[in-house]
Structure 1
Amino acid sequence: MNAPADLFRWPLAAIARALRDGSLTARAMLSHFQDRIERLNPVVNAFAWLDPAAHRAADVSDEHLRAGRPRSELEGIPVAVKDNLLVAGQPATWGSPLYQHYRPTHDELPVARLRAAGAILIGKTNVPEFTLQGYTCNPLFGASRNPWNPALTPGGSSGGAAAAVAAGLVPLALCTDGGGSIRRPAALTHLLGFKPSTGRLARHGGFPALLLDCEVVGPIARSTEGARRLFECLAGPSPLDPSSFALPPAPAAHGVRRRIHYVDHLPPHPVDRGIQAACLQGMRRLEALGHTVTHGPLPFDVSEVDAAWSQLGGIGLALLARRDPEFAHQASPAFVDLARAGAALSAADLLACLETLQAFRRTVRAAFAGVDIIATPCSAAPPWPATEIYPGTIDGASAAPRSHAAFTGWVNACGHPAISLPVADDPAAGLAGLQLIGDFGADRALLDLAQRYETAHPWTQHWPALATAP
């Protein structure tokens, strides 16, 4: 059986129906996406490694489907896995020469759940070294490139995953988000990226948590429906992750209409005016759907948590350096320096960071008593050259190294769920994502809101020319 030539364009629900009614096999679908990867990955450099034995998992899925016993809604669906997540038997380089020969013998918890759901783990997607940068380039595999313009970056640190989904190389990707690493690449490639609440998707058995519990796993997808399918397959507590039992009941919804507060800039960081215009249009559309929209500054200060945030990565790298004597010789010099700076901090400095995080979480949760959603632009900058770490200017103004990421890091610090929605009417002319941040634990309500927006203003009809070329 051959898959239709336009299968990569199909909604995930249509693919799942075809698998269940027998008009499509998992093996044929896998071959379809592998052919696309062979043709397009040399251009976008999305995948760092492909599983040569993926067809065996597809054959097992076909057996389950023929027997009428699919293991989940992801049975037989190819899913890419970011290269900082551990998959048994597959490389996990974390984008660093330090781990270039590392092949874990176990799946970390979310990967194990994905495998048990019947998803086909097709391969590993490219990341920046230690997933601590907002573009995607490393000494092992080079730079990933944006399918909308291969001269530009797809962002980071899930840039390889975003490039893979945007180019139609795979329907879904499992990623991590420690400071916007799912949401910003999604915004820069016209995709949906979802960062769940801390603890919503249980974690265990992976690389050391450089950013503590601020880093979570989540999906990059073309549609809300695709993101929801992956989310629901992975959601639920586990005794291996005590934080997964700490979530409150879903916050009470104030009817279908939401109280949305829009924040268009975070001084002193500049924001691209095209992104601002697209996000403002997105807010008008939400208002037209019946939601109450207010405009103004963030209802809390993020400066203290930003200062603490800048120390956490160095402290985490110092732990890696302590555990592995090869770190100083194998890691790139910038990260060796950052690890040394982290090692120079004291236990009191770490405790102060933790206290700042906890205080910030209390402040943000109190602020959500007055709103249901805080909305912002997702990335403050459009895509920039693929081999540059960050854009030095945004909208003609000088930009700091993390200015492009100003809107996303604080959301990881507070632990709330957030989603990036494509809001550009013509993504070939300019890419933009609108970030919606929900109350802690209100993950499904946030997905519901995204689905209502997508139903009224669909975006999946837009594809990069690279993806649709014969």
Structure 2
Amino acid sequence: MDITKYSARMLIADLSERRVSAEGVMRATLERIGQVNGAVNAIVALRDEEALLAEARAIDAGPIRGALHGVPVAVKDLVNVAGVVSSQGSPLFDGFVPETDDLIAARMRAAGAILIGKTNTPEFGLGSHTFNPVYGATRNPYDAARTCGGSSGGAAVALATGMVTLADGSDMMGSLRNPAAWNNVYGFRPSWGLVPSDPVGDSFLHQLSTLGPMARSPEDIGLLLDVIAGFDSRLPLNAPHGSVSPVEPLDLTGMRIGWLADWGGAFPMEAGILDLCETALGVFGQLGAHIERIPPPFDAERLWDSWITLRSWSVASGLEPLSQNRDALKDSAQWELDWGLALSAMQVHQASVVRSDWFRKAVEVFDRYDALILPAAQVWPFDVDLPYPTEISGRAMDTYHRWMHVTVPVSLIGLPCLAVPAGFGGQGLPMGLQLFGPRGSDARLLSIGAACHAATEWPQRRPALQ
């Protein structure tokens, strides 16, 4: 069997039992990258082949190193990896080679992974479309004329095309969920605080963005989550983590699932998305769950106003050291910087009050439903040369990111959410669902996803790239 089609669980088992060698896996990985990466541009800053093979041989010659023993992993290019160019997609950092790993890279390396290079991302991760002036655009493997989404677009494409079996991503406004949906793979946004960020700068105020795993199955998601999650005493709001692996399919009989569709019309959708998502919901029903379409539990505009205030405050806090180089930043980064720096403390407080109101209301909703579902995106993958959609079904978008409004209910209050493949639309393009639950329901959501995966196995339908 082609090693690049293995699940991570199969690959790790074979590596750990010495049925395959790390060197053999590395050779197969590099061969696959050579075959397909030129068409999609997902993996960037790839390390030297001989250095990678030497590292693989050293692993073969030594003891089992951990849960990811010998597995090749390309790390999202928002994460510093020692000895590897880490540009964040920005000309300001082009050629920057850090001397130390960021926390998530260090944890994967300590677990035995071989960090082979980077996966492409938008500049500073801003925008759900992976393009930047350093490496260019990453293309959708199901239609190279279209975007792969973002900001974890390179990671999703690398998974979809078999260049890696596991990938890390990050998610503030759908950056794991959107590319997972558009590339027919799984992406998991964990409960906020479960996967720690690096213990630098402020560790108290900003609770929107999180790191998380991506893979071709919920079982493989669980394997990587167990490596990257866990307590760090240097972070005050970091949550403890009990192992979720092995992730096993859950019996969905009698489960109550709320379908939020387009949030009562507040989230405009391109034609065909809701129809495909409702067809995908039928899988949950066939497995015994009770699906109920429910009205919007909270006002969408209040969510949005709270979101753009807290998001811009957070993003501007990170970009502020670069404000003297404002003209070197892309337009969306300039927008976030200008908006965020103009906010008052009371505006931020009032936005957080709305966030708190939504959190309390969500708790009430989860008293009645085991999980909720929304589409993972409001548009199909669009032209790769278009920076972002400016309208959806005739409705104008008033910001560069309003077209991802559908991800805000989850992001605003740090809920765990699994992006689940929903199949393919009329043009052969993938779409996905957001399956989410209350904070702390991470393991349960993965088990629900595993049940659906066993019934569909959508990601195993690899795009027809040579």
TM over 0.5: yes
Code of the aligned partner of 2:117: G
- By how many angstroms is 1:154 displaced? 0.5
Asked if structure 1 preserves the Cα contact closer than 8 Å seen for 2:181 and 2:377, the reply is yes
Structure 1 pair 327–301 and aligned structure 2 pair: CA distance change class (3 A) = same
- What is the rounded CA distance, in whole Å, between the counterparts of 1:418 and 1:170 in structure 2? 22
Residue 339 and residue 424 in structure 1: after superposition, are their counterparts in 2 closer, same or farther (change >3 A)?
A: same
273-282 vs 77-86, greater mean Cα deviation: 273-282
Is 1:71 the counterpart of 2:69 in the alignment? no
In structure 2, the partner of 1:359 is 357
Q: What CA distance in whole angstroms lies between the structure 2 residues aligned with 1:385 and 1:434? A: 22
Among residues 11, 16, 26, which one is paired with 1:15 in the alignment?
A: 11
CA positional deviation for 1:328 = 2.0
Is the CA contact (8 Å cut-off) linking 1:427 and 1:462 kept in structure 2?
Answer: no
* 2:139 aligned partner: 145
**Aligned twin of 1:39:** 35
1:50 match: secondary structure: coil
Cα shift at 1:55:
3.2
Displacement of 1:278 after TM fit?
1.9
2:418 maps to a residue whose letter is: I
2:83 pairs with 1:99: no
Cα pair distance change 1:339/1:410, threshold 3 Å = same
What is the aligned-residue identity percentage?
A: 32
* 2:462 corresponds to 1:463: yes
Inter-partner Cα distance in structure 1 for 2:318 and 2:224: 30
Structure 1 327/263 Cα, relative in aligned 2: closer, same or farther at 3 Å? same
Hey, what does 1:273 align to over in structure 2?
Answer: 271
Contact persistence 1:199–1:247 (CA under 8 A):
no
Code of the residue aligned with 2:420 in structure 1: it is L
Matched-pair contact (CA < 8 Å) for 1:191–1:222: yes
CA shift for structure 1 position 374: 0.5
1:431 aligns with 2:430: yes
Q: Match of 1:442?
A: 441
1:225 equivalent among 219, 225, 250: 219
**Of residues 102, 110, 115 in structure 1, which corresponds to 2:109?**
115
What is the CA-CA distance between 1:363 and the residue it aligns to?
2.5
Deviation at 1:207, TM superposition (A): 8.7
What runs of 5+ residues in structure 2 fail to find an aligned partner? 245-249
CA distance in 2, matches of 1:246, 1:352: 30
Alpha-carbon distance between aligned partners in 2 of 1:195 and 1:29, rounded to the nearest angstrom:
28
- Asked if 2 retains the 8 angstrom alpha-carbon contact of 1:210 and 1:312, the reply is no
Aligned partners of 2:204, 2:27: CA distance in 1, in Å? 37
Report Cα offsets for 1:125-170 as digits up to 9, x if no partner.
Answer: 1111121201111111111100111100000111111111111111
3-state DSSP of counterpart to 1:376: strand
Task: In structure 1, list runs of 5 or more residues that go unmatched.
Answer: none
How far apart are the structure 2 equivalents of 1:293 and 1:337?
A: 40
Q: 2:125 aligned with 1:131, yes or no?
A: yes
Relative to structure 1, is the Cα distance of residues 23 and 427 closer, same or farther in structure 2, using a 3 angstrom cutoff?
farther
Is the CA contact 1:182–1:194 (under 8 Å) kept in the aligned structure 2? Answer: yes
Q: Does 1:311 align with 2:309?
A: yes
Secondary structure at the counterpart of residue 460 of structure 2: coil
Cα distance in 2, alignment partners of residues 84 and 102 from structure 1: 12
CA contact (8 A) 2:251 2:287 kept: no
Closer, same or farther in 2 for the Cα pair 1:208/1:430, shift >3 Å? Answer: farther
Residue 414 in 1 paired to residue 413 in 2?
yes
Is the 8 Å Cα contact of residues 108 and 206 (structure 1) preserved in structure 2? no
CA contact (8 A) 2:418 2:434 kept: yes
- TM-score, structure 1 length as denominator? 0.89
Kept after mapping to 2: 8 A contact 1:249/1:441 = no
| 1:386 maps to 2:384 | yes
Query: Shift of residue 181 of structure 1?
Result: 0.4
2:88/2:125 contact within 8 Å kept? yes
Aligned positions of 1:335-374 closer than 5 A? 335-374=333-372
Partner of 2:193: 199
Contact preservation (8 Å) 2:147, 2:382: yes
Distance 1:374 1:249, change over 3 A: farther
Partner of 1:151, secondary structure, is strand
Query: Residue 287 of structure 1 is aligned with which of 285, 290, 310?
Result: 285
What amino acid is aligned across from residue 39 of structure 1 in structure 2? Q
Distance 2:119 2:3 in 1: 21
TM-score, structure 2 normalization: 0.90
Aligned to 2:146, the other structure's residue is in SS state coil
User: Is 2:258 the counterpart of 1:261?
Assistant: yes
Residue type of the alignment partner of 1:99: F
Cα root mean square deviation, aligned: 2.7
**For residues 369 and 280 of structure 1, what CA distance do their matches in structure 2 show?**
23
Name the amino acid aligned to 2:226: E
Q: Which amino acid aligns with 1:444?
A: A
User: Which letter does structure 2 place at the counterpart of 1:455?
Assistant: A
Determine the C-alpha separation between the residues in 1 that align with 2:183 and 2:112.
27
Structure 1 residue 111: deviation in Å?
1.8
Change in 2 beyond 3 A, CA 1:207/1:165: farther
2 CA distance for matches of 1:238 and 1:207?
Answer: 15
What count of residue pairs does the alignment treat as equivalent? 456
